[in-house]
């Protein structure tokens, strides 16, 4: 039995009296004010913490040791911020980029700066505005250039000479570990890349940097293991890769052209690569005349079987890798197939003649 008595059958129990009464309007207002105050305090706390963090980024306190910072030519404020963050001059590249945009305009000079780790944003910006202590010059060497063509590009740098660069390159003053014994020919052994040079870097320093860059890439891709991989010495692979670099027009053809050359080498068939003859004639881009095809030269691979005596250009990483891992296939021929530079590959003379006729019909050959 209930202490308070039983309810009538089917009747709903009455709610307690206090639940039937709405809260006074004053209580509701006070609760809303308290909630608003809590939200405001949270917002102020977050904002305060954010402001403290920003202040510590902008003015971190005592600066650390000096570091050399190189700003490459053409760098944007975002690029510079990334460089400073990597060198730990600043702690946050994004915030520094906004700081520069708010307080500065225009571009900064490329070159070498001396800054300090954990430097204030104001000090770092002042250094950039002042300009570099050393101005760097950028040099881009595309894939497939000959040593003479690279020399011409070096000669465009202020205070450098193409003739001096070539003289140094042919003097034996700099040797590549991939040069054959007794050779002083660095053709193909300078790595095509973009370099930043300082005014103190003379022709010898520039040449040394390019040769060492090639050695670094060659070691990285396993060029020294070429005898086990493709039954060719490293220097022979560089020579093959230089031909691939000059012949391939689209990336997907590199490994297939490398296979054609490798198949012909193994079968003792003259390679028939016109790029080698153009190299001998010093006409790297001009069409060959009928009379050129009878030129007596070890670089005339229509007449002389085997690889030419040296590379014919500086191959890039992709051509070196393709030459170390030619695509599997029976091909012995290739010819241009469309204006994009893609080649058609074939394994019989009849198929090649058909592809060559199509090339001529399209005005590609």
In 3D, which of 207, 216, 145 has the Cα closest to residue 170? 207
| 90, 112, 130 - which closes a domain | 130
Model confidence pLDDT, tens digit, residues 302-314: 999 999 999 999 9
Residues pairing with 197 in the sheet: 137
CA distance 298 to 289: 18
| 130, 154, 180 - which closes a domain | 130
SS3 36: helix
For tokens 């197939």, name the residue: 337
Same domain, 229 and 217: no
- Could you tell me if residue 38 is inside a domain? no
* pLDDT value of residue 332: 98
Same domain, 288 and 257: yes
Same domain, 106 and 156: no
Model confidence pLDDT, tens digit, residues 270-301: 999 999 999 999 988 788 888 999 999 999 99
For residue 192, give the H/E element and its range: none
Same domain, 230 and 357: yes
Distances (CA, A) of 259 to 51, 125, 171, 237, 362: 63, 54, 35, 12, 26
- Could you tell me if residue 177 is inside a domain? yes
Residue 92 tokens, joined:
């946050």
DSSP percent split of the chain into helix, strand, coil, nearest 5: 50, 10, 45
**111: CATH:** 3.30.1490.480
- Could you tell me if residue 97 is inside a domain? yes
Phi-psi domain of 185 (left: phi exceeds 0; alpha: psi -120 through 50; beta: other): beta
Same domain, 186 and 307: no
Interior angle at CA 173, CA 167 and CA 177, nearest 5: 120
Same domain, 203 and 255: no
- Could you tell me if residue 45 is inside a domain? no
Residue 116 tokens, joined:
């300090």
Same domain, 292 and 272: yes
* pLDDT value of residue 135: 80
Domain carrying residue 161: 137-221
Same domain, 184 and 230: no
Same domain, 322 and 214: no
- Could you tell me if residue 58 is inside a domain? no
- Could you tell me if residue 353 is inside a domain? yes
Radius of gyration of the chain (CA): 35
Residue 362 tokens, joined:
């399209």
| 171, 192, 221 - which closes a domain | 221
Q: Which sign, positive or negative, has the C-alpha torsion 256, 257, 260, 263?
A: negative
Residue 34 tokens, joined:
């308290």
Length of the chain: 365
By CB atoms closer than 10 A (0-12, 13-18, 19+), residue 187 is buried
Q: Which sign, positive or negative, has the C-alpha torsion 227, 229, 231, 236?
A: negative
Same domain, 236 and 304: yes
* pLDDT value of residue 6: 42
CA distance 168 to 160: 12
Tally of domains within the chain: 3
Same domain, 212 and 231: no
Mean pLDDT, 10 residues at a time, the chain of 365 residues: 42 50 63 66 61 74 86 88 93 88 79 90 90 87 97 96 97 96 95 93 97 98 97 98 97 98 97 95 86 94 96 98 98 96 96 96 91
Extended beta strands in the chain, E state = 66-71, 111-116, 137-140, 194-197, 333-336, 343-346
- Could you tell me if residue 34 is inside a domain? no
- Could you tell me if residue 15 is inside a domain? no
Distances (CA, A) of 107 to 104, 128, 266: 9, 9, 56
Q: Which sign, positive or negative, has the C-alpha torsion 52, 53, 59, 63?
A: positive
Same domain, 282 and 349: yes
Query: Do residues 262 and 243 touch, judged by C-beta distance below 8 A?
Result: no
Query: Do residues 314 and 242 touch, judged by C-beta distance below 8 A?
Result: yes
Maximal CA-CA distance, the chain: 125
Query: Do residues 111 and 85 touch, judged by C-beta distance below 8 A?
Result: no
* pLDDT value of residue 11: 47
For residue 299, give the H/E element and its range: none
């Amino acid at each position: 039995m209930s202490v308070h008595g039983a309810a009538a059958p089917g009747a709903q129990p009455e709610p307690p009296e206090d639940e039937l009464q709405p809260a006074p309007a004053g209580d509701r207002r006070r609760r809303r004010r308290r909630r608003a105050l809590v939200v405001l305090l949270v917002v102020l706390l977050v904002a305060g913490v954010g402001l403290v963090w920003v202040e510590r980024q902008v003015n971190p306190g005592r600066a650390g040791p000096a570091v050399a910072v190189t700003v490459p030519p053409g760098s944007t404020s975002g690029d510079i911020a990334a460089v400073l963050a990597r060198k730990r001059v600043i702690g946050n590249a994004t915030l520094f980029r906004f700081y520069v945009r708010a307080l500065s305009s225009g571009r900064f000079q490329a070159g070498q700066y001396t800054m300090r780790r954990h430097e204030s944003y104001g000090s770092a910006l002042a250094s950039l505005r002042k300009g570099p202590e050393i101005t760097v010059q950028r040099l881009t060497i595309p894939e497939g250039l000959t040593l003479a063509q690279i020399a011409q590009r070096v000669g465009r740098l202020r205070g450098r000479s193409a003739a001096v660069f070539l003289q140094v390159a042919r003097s034996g003053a700099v040797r590549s570990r991939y040069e054959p014994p007794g050779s002083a020919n660095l053709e193909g052994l300078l790595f095509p890349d973009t370099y930043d040079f300082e005014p103190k870097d003379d022709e010898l320093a520039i040449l040394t940097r390019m040769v060492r860059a090639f050695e670094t890439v060659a070691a990285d891709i396993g060029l020294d293991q070429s005898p086990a991989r493709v039954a060719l010495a490293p220097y022979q692979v560089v020579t093959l890769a230089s031909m691939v670099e000059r012949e391939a027009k689209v990336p997907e053809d590199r490994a297939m052209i490398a296979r054609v050359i490798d198949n012909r080498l193994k079968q003792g068939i003259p390679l028939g690569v016109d790029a080698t003859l153009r190299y001998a004639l010093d006409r790297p881009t001009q069409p060959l005349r009928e009379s050129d095809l009878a030129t007596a030269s070890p670089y005339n691979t229509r007449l002389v079987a085997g690889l030419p005596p040296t590379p014919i250009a500086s191959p890039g990483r992709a051509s070196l890798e393709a030459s170390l891992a030619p695509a599997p296939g029976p091909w012995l021929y290739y010819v241009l197939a469309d204006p994009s530079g893609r080649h058609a590959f074939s394994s019989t003379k009849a198929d090649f003649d058909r592809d060559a006729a199509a090339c001529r019909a399209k005005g590609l050959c």
